[in-house]
């Protein structure tokens, strides 16, 4: 969609106020507020002509790239497909996921860095090292709130086709 705005021979998939116009898109990602804003300007101009916002619901997992797609479609006046708004939550944690304490006892968020299998027997599920300190967390102790930095191509490598 960004490329369409720079290409005279491309067309948006449905009617939009930006149909047959050159436009530029600038994204603003606010991970703290779990929101993405897309601002559209006409090429060569600086005035914002349209703005679209995507905000993750409190019980959703934030993903910046999905937020960009939703915000851009809203800014362009296009329909947002349900595949974007109903994207599945991660079914298991992976390196790069941002997590919070499931019981909201600990007031910080942290990023998972690696698995440490020797602590799996502690009764808290699979154990993970994280960025907050030198300790570990069991998967039963946290909830994933942001999976933007998870590299799912590595996760699915070697999976059956």
**For the whole model, what pTM was predicted?**
0.81
Residue 136 lies inside a defined structural domain of this protein:
yes
Helix (H, G, I), strand (E, B) or coil at 155: helix
Q: Go through 83-93 and write b for each residue having 16 or more CB atoms within 10 A of its CB, e for each that does not.
A: eeeeeeeeeeb
Residue 160 lies inside a defined structural domain of this protein:
no
Strands of 2-161, DSSP E: 23-30, 35-42, 48-55, 98-101, 109-115, 127-130, 136-138, 142-146
pLDDT exceeds 60 at position 87: yes
Whether 50 contacts 85, CB under 8 Å: no
Closest to 142 (Cα-Cα) out of 155, 131, 157: 131
Q: Are residues 73 and 102 in the same domain?
A: no
Count how many domains the chain has: 2
pLDDT exceeds 80 at position 158: no
Whole-number mean pLDDT of the chain? Answer: 85
Residue 71 lies inside a defined structural domain of this protein:
yes
Domain with 42 in it: 4-85
Residue 92 lies inside a defined structural domain of this protein:
no
**pLDDT of 21-63, one tens digit each?**
778 899 999 999 999 999 998 877 788 989 999 999 988 999 9
């Amino acid at each position: 969609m960004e490329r369409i705005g720079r290409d005279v021979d491309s067309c948006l998939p449905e009617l939009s106020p930006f149909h047959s116009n050159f436009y530029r898109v600038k994204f603003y990602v606010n991970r703290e507020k779990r929101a993405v804003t897309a601002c559209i300007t006409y090429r060569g101009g600086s005035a914002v002509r349209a703005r679209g916002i995507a905000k993750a619901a409190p019980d959703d997992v934030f993903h910046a790239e999905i937020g960009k797609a939703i915000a851009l479609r809203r800014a362009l006046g296009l329909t947002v497909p349900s595949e974007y708004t109903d994207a599945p939550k991660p079914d298991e944690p992976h390196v790069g996921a941002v997590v919070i304490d499931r019981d909201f006892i600990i007031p910080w968020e942290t990023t998972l860095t690696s698995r440490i299998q020797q602590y799996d027997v502690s009764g808290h599920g699979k154990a993970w090292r994280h960025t907050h300190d030198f300790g570990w967390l069991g998967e039963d102790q946290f909830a994933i709130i942001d999976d933007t930095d998870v590299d799912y191509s590595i996760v699915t490598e070697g999976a059956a086709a």
